[in-house]
Structure 1
Amino acid sequence: MRALLTGLFMAAVLATPAAAQSAPDRAAAFAQLDPIFQAFAAERHVPGLVFGVVVDGQLAYVKSMGVQDTVAKRPVTPDSVFRIASMSKNFTALAVLKLRDEDKLSLDAPAETLVPELKGLKYPTTDSPKIRVRDLLNHTGGFVTDDPWGDRQLPMSETDFSRFLKAGVPFSRPPAMAMEYSNFGYALAGRVVTNVSRQPYDAYIQARILRPLGMTASTYDVGKVPVERLAVGYRWEDEAWVEEPTLGPGVFGAMGGLAVSANDYAKYVAWVLSAWPPRDGAEDAILKRGSVREIVQGSNFPALVPRSDKTDPAACDRARVYGMGMIVLADCVLGPHFTHSGGLPGYGSNVLFLPERGVGVFAFANRTYAGASPAVRDAAILLVKSGAFPARMTPPSPALTQAAAIVAKIYAVGDVMAAREGLAMNLLLDSDAPHRNAELGQLKAELGACQPAPDIAAETAMSGRISYACERGRLQAQVLLAPTTPASLQVYTLAAAK
């Protein structure tokens, strides 16, 4: 299975600029990451940590620092097992999506049809919609934000959870009104997995996701981790490390109970990234690529995240929405990306995915709420700015290639009517032939003749930027095709490259 996943992913990226980067370029970028995490460990009083970078389906760089326990002073290694807290939520979301794909549930079904104890809920208003399964995954169930209360519920038993539900749960707001982070909501999602699969949620996730990925060291029960591999959790108190009590396993483990090693977790990161870009080809047996990509679909409750923790003067604010066990963001530095942190008594972690670059960065630390996200983000920014991990280019579609030929013909003849059959009906209504031809005449006087073979930078299968080499510079075209068969030009603009 692992070989199949890697093979499919690599086949999709071998022809891209990211795969063509030389090893020295990447090695130089990786070498600059260590100081970021060394500074993080020192500032946050972290006993031990490990971080890794996954690139094109492989754990390309991994580094451990410090100790996994302060008594025996065993050093952290890539095989040390850390709890990843709320980063566990994505595994629960993926399990729900897998059950959906098996036609065992609907994301839009009322959650009470799968968790009968919810039928007794008293909703905050008479017009409140019932909580859907989707609302549990998107944090739109209307429940109150419950950090850090939820962390302390990790060991709750199934029986106690049922009793808790039957007693009633207060609402913060009506469902489907806004995103409000809820660990309780993900405990409910775990109960959905348990009831629908007819086995404990953790057993289902281990059998259907973790084991097929080869994550044999990963577990929801840290009591089963060999002591020589367990990263013991600590808090920093009175200028000393104090061991935190071990929590779980239990019902709330669906929101934060998973423990993994860096070597194991890298397999999951590589698998998630392998869902990008969309493409033809065989699927793996775990989950369809299109279903994996659903984890970045939110419920249209976007927010602006001001960059109050800027470590780079060029940093910018971010747009954010919560997907399914993932926070989805976009900004001027990293572009589209998704991430999630984890925090429990004794642990702090973060992962960040750059799907357009095939890159994932993650870090685990054994200190209470260590707050690894700024360090992981700084590492991702460094990798992006290094130039060694460029965004993959989308291959131009046949329709876009044909559009480039149409533009070349129009320019060569100097008359938009020379390709009348390739124009959408709106194009000459938006700007008539005389005006377009006058523009062509000015460009030809400036640039001279152009080569018909262009460079095409596809944005989608129906739009892109086209560049032609000319006698005195380059001609740039921006094109947008109409939804017609055959495809036709609904918009094109021409300009001399500056």
Structure 2
Amino acid sequence: MAFLALGTPLPALAQSSDPASFDPEITTILKNWMTENHIPGMVFGVVKDGRLAYVKTEGVQDLVQKRPVTPDTLFRIASMTKAFTALSILKLRDEGKLALDDPADRYVPELRGWTYPTTDSPRITIRDLLTHSAGFVTDDPWGDRQQVLSQTAFTALLRAGVPFTRAPEMRHEYANLGYAILGRVIANITKAPYRSFVEQRLLTPLGMTASGFDVLAHPKDKRAIGYRWENDAWAEEPTMKDGAFNAMGGLETSATDYAKWLSFITSAWPPRDGEDTGPAKRATVRQIMRGANNANVFHRYATGGGKQCPGALAYGMGWRVITDCDYGTVLAHGGGYPGYGSHVMVLPEYGAALFALTNRTYSGPSQPVWDIAALLTAKGVLVKRVEPVSADLASFYTAAQTVWTSGTIDALQGRVAMNFPMDRTAVNWAKVLAETKAKSGTCETSAPIAADGALSGTFTWKCEKGSIEGTVLLAPTKPITLQSLGYAFEGKD
């Protein structure tokens, strides 16, 4: 299902190749990684332009019957469930049922008697839980084994209180406990089980009819059985039933169904006019990028990631938010669970997402997902959306070309912001232009401007002796005026 059929079509992306054209290369990456990591079965998918554009299955979903993995095989996706929990919280916020900066104990009364680590500790908020900044200790793998905990036992755990590793809001520290508490928030507000809200308000509207939390009710012949690798052999992990920690990692889904979720997520970009018919508003989906400001240096999960260009990593709401030197914004998350490993990579600026699901304990397939993303980007399959050039930016770029050709700023008369003549006089503009043109030699000025937004852009002109790297920055005035113009010369090596 292409989610875009439910709403306004996205602006078209540049024409690019079909991922299936590179099936041999993709298959090699997947098979090599599976062999190295002892993976019984795996499914990989590319979601592009609102549909599952490519899916590849390898191995078996169970080692007894040796049923092959298919696009409809059901896998536990572990912590990738957190994205569904976070969006559920944002939906309740949209409906006026909570605010993100509300104290969590407003909705979970068992938290009210907690002893905080310091007298000046702030009370934990909903936002703290979303961003893993509540002061809880990292709880992998303890949290994973709490999946089967009963609601009664969870209530007792919360009523007794938990030890903190630090005061809330001091730093990010990944805690499954926090998302389990969010599940209780959702249940208490809706007066229904957490899973009911997700299944009825997210999964059903998206047509994810095979997915859900009650894994024991799912057809066994459709389920990927989870295994661990120990003593040079596979051993079956016990199937964990739905329990009180389901909000942190309990969802089971297939590649076919999960692609519908990713089609919906990617359809939120770019912001635009038109109908907004999804199970959550596009603007709400885009807010998953917003979170804690505890950023860290990030090296790609790909092969040789430590040697590749560094980026920045922070935790948003149910997603790790990465600023990458090539891809721009990346939303990513892994899923590690007894019997399962998964990874998802969303490229909002490309209208695409890649994911992989496996059935081996903690076998997070981040490396092959990122390696394939690099392959498909290099091959032109994944193409970044081009920011449209606004009429105002185009008009001022034409003026910038005239300024360069004429050697004066006469073409800007009456169109500049009040700071412009104060920052450089007309006489000095003529001087700087003449000096720069002498350095560059003749330049080809017909290249288009690349928009950074409606009010800013950059351009590159090839010249006899090098290039001009130019900038146009408009001012937030009505009528729109020019606040800055630059022509930086770069000589040939």
Q: Per the alignment, in what secondary structure is the counterpart of residue 356 of structure 1?
A: helix
1:111–1:423 CA distance, 2 compared to 1 (3 A)? same
1:314–1:169 CA distance, 2 compared to 1 (3 A)? closer
Conserved? CA contact 1:146–1:184, under 8 Å: yes
Residue aligning to 1:35: 28
Which of 338, 360, 370 is equivalent to 1:367? 360
Deviations 1:200-256 (A, max 9, x none): 110110000001001001010110111111100011122211111111201101000
Q: Per the alignment, in what secondary structure is the counterpart of residue 12 of structure 1?
A: coil
Q: Per the alignment, in what secondary structure is the counterpart of residue 485 of structure 2?
A: strand
1:128 aligns with 2:97: no
Conserved? CA contact 1:104–1:196, under 8 Å: yes
Residue aligning to 1:311: 304
Once residues 464 and 229 of structure 2 are traced to their aligned partners in structure 1, the CA distance between those partners, rounded to angstroms, is 67
Q: TM-score, normalised by structure 1?
A: 0.93
Once residues 102 and 371 of structure 2 are traced to their aligned partners in structure 1, the CA distance between those partners, rounded to angstroms, is 40
Letter in 1 for 2:216: G
Once residues 309 and 418 of structure 1 are traced to their aligned partners in structure 2, the CA distance between those partners, rounded to angstroms, is 49
Deviations 1:59-101 (A, max 9, x none): 1110111111111111100000000000100100010001111
Q: TM-score, normalised by structure 2?
A: 0.94
Which moves more between the two structures, 232-241 or 458-467?
458-467
Letter in 2 for 1:458: A
Residue aligning to 1:88: 81
Q: Per the alignment, in what secondary structure is the counterpart of residue 240 of structure 2?
A: coil
Conserved? CA contact 1:412–1:450, under 8 Å: no
1:156–1:313 CA distance, 2 compared to 1 (3 A)? closer
1:284 aligns with 2:282: no
1:21 aligns with 2:20: no
Which of 9, 12, 17 is equivalent to 2:10? 12
1:484 aligns with 2:483: no
Letter in 2 for 1:36: I
* 1:70-469 superposed matches below 5 A: 70-306=63-299, 310-311=303-304, 315-441=308-434, 455-466=448-459
Letter in 2 for 1:320: L
Deviations 1:424-470 (A, max 9, x none): 2222222221221123345667666977x761210111210135799
1:395–1:116 CA distance, 2 compared to 1 (3 A)? same
Conserved? CA contact 1:347–1:370, under 8 Å: yes
Deviations 1:117-142 (A, max 9, x none): 11111111111111110111100111
Deviation at 1:420, TM superposition (A): 2.2
1:156–1:308 CA distance, 2 compared to 1 (3 A)? closer
Once residues 48 and 4 of structure 1 are traced to their aligned partners in structure 2, the CA distance between those partners, rounded to angstroms, is 28
1:275–1:420 CA distance, 2 compared to 1 (3 A)? same
Deviation at 1:472, TM superposition (A): 11
1:479–1:7 CA distance, 2 compared to 1 (3 A)? farther
Once residues 469 and 64 of structure 1 are traced to their aligned partners in structure 2, the CA distance between those partners, rounded to angstroms, is 47
Structure 2, unaligned runs of 5 or more: none
Once residues 406 and 331 of structure 2 are traced to their aligned partners in structure 1, the CA distance between those partners, rounded to angstroms, is 47
Once residues 61 and 443 of structure 2 are traced to their aligned partners in structure 1, the CA distance between those partners, rounded to angstroms, is 67
Conserved? CA contact 2:313–2:323, under 8 Å: yes
Once residues 355 and 231 of structure 1 are traced to their aligned partners in structure 2, the CA distance between those partners, rounded to angstroms, is 30
Residue aligning to 2:49: 56
Once residues 95 and 73 of structure 2 are traced to their aligned partners in structure 1, the CA distance between those partners, rounded to angstroms, is 34
Once residues 312 and 175 of structure 1 are traced to their aligned partners in structure 2, the CA distance between those partners, rounded to angstroms, is 32
Deviation at 1:403, TM superposition (A): 1.7
Conserved? CA contact 2:355–2:369, under 8 Å: yes
1:314–1:167 CA distance, 2 compared to 1 (3 A)? closer
Conserved? CA contact 2:180–2:245, under 8 Å: yes
Once residues 418 and 313 of structure 1 are traced to their aligned partners in structure 2, the CA distance between those partners, rounded to angstroms, is 49
1:327–1:450 CA distance, 2 compared to 1 (3 A)? closer
Conserved? CA contact 1:85–1:349, under 8 Å: yes
Which moves more between the two structures, 129-138 or 422-431?
422-431
Letter in 1 for 2:347: L
Conserved? CA contact 2:327–2:349, under 8 Å: no
Once residues 448 and 233 of structure 1 are traced to their aligned partners in structure 2, the CA distance between those partners, rounded to angstroms, is 66
Letter in 2 for 1:21: S
Conserved? CA contact 2:271–2:282, under 8 Å: yes
Give the aligned length.
490
Conserved? CA contact 1:315–1:333, under 8 Å: no
Letter in 1 for 2:324: D
Deviation at 1:317, TM superposition (A): 2.6
Conserved? CA contact 1:208–1:286, under 8 Å: yes
Letter in 2 for 1:429: M
Q: Per the alignment, in what secondary structure is the counterpart of residue 393 of structure 2?
A: helix
Which moves more between the two structures, 300-309 or 426-435?
300-309
Deviation at 1:156, TM superposition (A): 1.2
Deviation at 1:13, TM superposition (A): 2.9
Once residues 231 and 325 of structure 1 are traced to their aligned partners in structure 2, the CA distance between those partners, rounded to angstroms, is 24
Aligned-pair Cα RMSD in Å: 2.3
Deviations 1:161-187 (A, max 9, x none): 111111111111111111111100000
Q: Per the alignment, in what secondary structure is the counterpart of residue 414 of structure 2?
A: helix
Q: Per the alignment, in what secondary structure is the counterpart of residue 288 of structure 2?
A: helix
Q: Per the alignment, in what secondary structure is the counterpart of residue 356 of structure 2?
A: strand
Deviation at 1:56, TM superposition (A): 1.1
Q: Per the alignment, in what secondary structure is the counterpart of residue 394 of structure 1?
A: coil
